[in-house]
Structure 1
């Protein structure tokens, strides 16, 4: 899946399902501060990612995510691993 499509899908579900202001989402924005998610929200986020992309993110993955760029890259890497 190409990067632009991943970004579009992710941004869409963050805005529509997690009620994030789309103007706050940018590649270099701080992921956790922008989203302000609690532990239950992270579970919901994992479920949404799995249903949209067929990949699962774990706790270790989220520890490495600082910016939205990191988030997109993590999903892209997981998809590539799955398809390898």
Structure 2
């Protein structure tokens, strides 16, 4: 897997939220709570996993999301998955 800069990961994640989930770019603050501020429900999480796996060529499992509540923690999860 090709390593990516953190900012590139962040930008690509934000594009997924804007394009796939119609989230206002202004709402994409690192402290935003995924479930509340971004209004994601359980089906959205499934769609999010599929979109992210496709975009980044990574595999995400339920255990990966333990402790992931904010957008920043989601960025960090992907950084860890992509860059080790």
Q: TM-score range by the shorter chain?
A: 0.7 to 0.9
Gap regions ≥5 residues in structure 1? none
Question: What residue is the counterpart of 2:9 in the other structure?
Answer: 6
Does 1:56 pair with 2:75? no
Q: How many residues align?
A: 81
More helix by proportion, 1 or 2?
Answer: 1
TM-score (norm 2): 0.86
TM-score (norm 1): 0.86
Q: Distance in 2 between matches of 1:33 and 1:60?
A: 20
Gap regions ≥5 residues in structure 2? none
Question: What residue is the counterpart of 2:38 in the other structure?
Answer: 35
Higher mean Cα deviation, 37-46 or 13-22?
A: 37-46
Q: Distance in 2 between matches of 1:56 and 1:34?
A: 25
Query: Considering only aligned residues, what root-mean-square deviation do their CA atoms show, in Å?
Result: 1.2
Q: 1:23 aligns with which of 18, 26, 33?
A: 26
Higher RCO (CA-CA < 8 Å; seq separation 6+): 2
